[in-house]
Amino acid sequence: MIDTVIRAHWQAPARVQAFTTTRRGPGESQPPFDVFNLGDHVGDDPAAVVANRAALRQTFALPAEPLWLRQVHGTQVADADVVAPGEVPEADAAVTREPGRVLAILTADCLPVVFAADDASSIGAAHAGWRGLADGVLEATVAAMRHDPSRIHAWIGPGIRQAAFEVGPEVRERFVVADRLAFAAFKPSARPGHFLCDLAMLARLRLMKLGLVRIADCALCTHVAPQQFYSHRRDQRTGRMATLVWQVQTP
């Protein structure tokens, strides 16, 4: 049986909730977006996306509409506490210090990474494809949380994994120039001059360099599970999962 969501298994405070949806949620999207596509920029019927997002909020009893972002593979971090209602910021990460605010990241191979301070005073979420990862989206998110990095928990959600992610030499060069340890995240592929890239390892290296020590990884690959996950590299025209994080409001 395919899980409707992949819940974060990490050591963050219990009042911080986080999960990634799968394509088998309570949705209305038709192929190739079937059935629980939450991305409004992929060519799906807009009415279906609206219905899917409403079902997301109702099914999982979200305390508020998620802060949806217009993701551009950059490093901009939105402060959810000052975003106007209904605004969709151009950003690839978001943070909040307010209970009840729901942060959302859309992915279909890129890594979703969520964060929580050990006292739940701030939480964050980042969209980490290789471009954003190389440019520093994780570093920007942690900085925006304004918390001691050694006391921040991180969870890496479902994304494309090394066996399915072939890249050219320019991608390896971007990471290795910044950190020689990144060599370990690349191994030669069957195609001459190309490499299989371990995005999750690269993310962990970046986080550890910042001082994070509490890093959990679900280790799930979007590319190899077509019944469970959307994958842009596998299918090209496809939907998006959402990774959500919020702090439960206390009475």
Q: Cα-Cα-Cα-Cα dihedral of 140, 144, 145, 147, to 10°?
A: 90
Residue 154 lies in a domain: yes
d(CA 167, CA 181): 18
Residue 221 in any domain: the answer is yes
The arithmetic mean of pLDDT across residues 100-125, rounded, is 98
Q: How far is CA 132 from its chain centroid?
A: 11
Is residue 57 included in any domain, yes or no? yes
Question: Mean pLDDT over residues 128-139, rounded?
Answer: 98
Query: Does residue 250 surpass a pLDDT of 80?
Result: no
The angle subtended at Cα 245 by Cα 120 and Cα 235, nearest 5°, is 155
Assigned domain for 202 exists: no
- Whichever domain contains 33, its CATH number is 3.60.140.10
In this prediction, residue 83 carries a pLDDT of 96
**What is the CB neighbour count within 10 angstroms for residue 176?**
16
Tell me: pLDDT of 119 over 80: yes
Extract the runs of DSSP E, i.e. beta strands, from 82-161: 93-96, 103-107, 111-117, 123-128, 152-156
> Could you list the residue range(s) of the whole structural domain that residue 25 is in?
13-162+213-247
169 in any annotated domain: no
Specify if 184 maps to a domain: no
Output the CA torsion sign for 214, 219, 222, 227: negative
> Which pTM value belongs to this model?
0.96
Domains identified in the chain, total number: 1
**pLDDT of 101 over the 80 cut:** yes
